[in-house]
A = this chain, B = another copy of it.
Amino acid sequence: MAAEEGQVAVTVSNKQVIFNNYVSGFPKESDMSIAVGEINLKLPESAAAGVLLKNLYLSCDPYMRPRMRNSSGSYVGAFQPGSPLSGYGVAKVLESGHPNFEKGDLVWGSTGWEEYTVSTEPGQLFKIQHKDVPLSYYTGILGMPGMTAYVGLYELCSPKKGEYVYVSAASGAVGQLVGQFAKLAGCYVVGSAGSQEKVDLLKNKFGFDEAFNYKEEQDLAAALKRYFPQGIDIYFENVGGKMLDAVLGNMRLRGRIAVCGMISQYNLESPEGVHNLASLIMNRIRMEGFIVSDHYHLYPKYLEMVVPKIKEGKIVYVEDTAEGLDNAPAALVGLFYGRNVGKQVVKVADD
């Protein structure tokens, strides 16, 4: 096609973040390396029905840690050593062989950690319709993390007015939304995070009723007892391990736990034991794991709810932006130390 139209495909440099090898313990920046290759800005024949993407934003997400393990144990495959990482991102379509997309479209979904990506599965990309919001939001509130908060809280936990909701990792990409959504539902919301700055954000920016720094608590169960003297109706689980144990000891009758993630466990060779599961019986608790991609059919409904709320300022979203692919490894690693304040995103290009 390009040849017939007399166009010449341009070859440009393509910076990539390469996954070096499988990781044990906490990931380090040296588990990744920056490489600069070249790419012909034209869909190759092997991907004639795909799309060629220019990546604008990349998303750093906790679920990427299990993908760094051999035989990943994650619900998506392990990263390939020697190849670029992949993940969620926002991109511009430079060329499309797929009927749903055309040149110039903005999309979000699975892409590579590089400047340009040939996607052979564009069916998994979402075309961006609302452009009068920050584009980076499609790695967060308007993308996978937003849907995660929405599905986990509303679909799995059915919050009712006056219920007591606890969110761990509450200032993160998902947690800050869970708290705000629960407030919209009329709940009493407490969040925990790992620094005073984050705690302030929870209370002053996101409107949580209370918040605490879990690192300053010797006894998590006692802390929860203090913030929830009457117990917890809904727990949005992001961290696992000791926190889950403390929560199980503080749940109310007919409580619900949406199990979204267990970031505290991802860097351990073997996960911590959780001891208080008998609370599930005593308190008739439902605990349910979920994967957001099972629920993407609800995305239009979610957008309908959330976009007006963003525009009216009723929902806010805080991002922590790393500039450029060179800073992407540090941004991803930082996620597991809680260095990010808000949603960790990597800006790759302006447009």
Contact = CB atoms under 8 A, between A and B. Distances in A.
A213 to B, nearest CB: 25
A283 interface: yes
Contact of A288 (B73, B262, B271, B286): B286
Contact of A75 (B261, B276, B281): B281
Nearest to A282: B75
A244 B287 CA distance: 14
A261 B284 CA distance: 11
A274 interface: yes
A75 B251 CA distance: 13
A259 interface: yes
A261 B285 CA distance: 13
Which of A74, A272, A286 has the most C-beta atoms of chain B within 10 angstroms of its own C-beta?
Answer: A286
Interface in A282-300: 282-291, 294
A75 B282 CA distance: 5
A280 interface: yes
B275 A261 contact: no
A276 B271 contact: yes
Interface in A246-282: 259-262, 265, 270-282
Interface string A81-123: 0000000000000000000000000000000000000000000
B281 A261 contact: yes
Contacts of A75: 281-282
Interface string A63-74: 000000000011
A276 B259 CA distance: 13
B280 A291 contact: no
Interface of A: 73-75, 240, 244, 259-262, 265, 270-291, 294
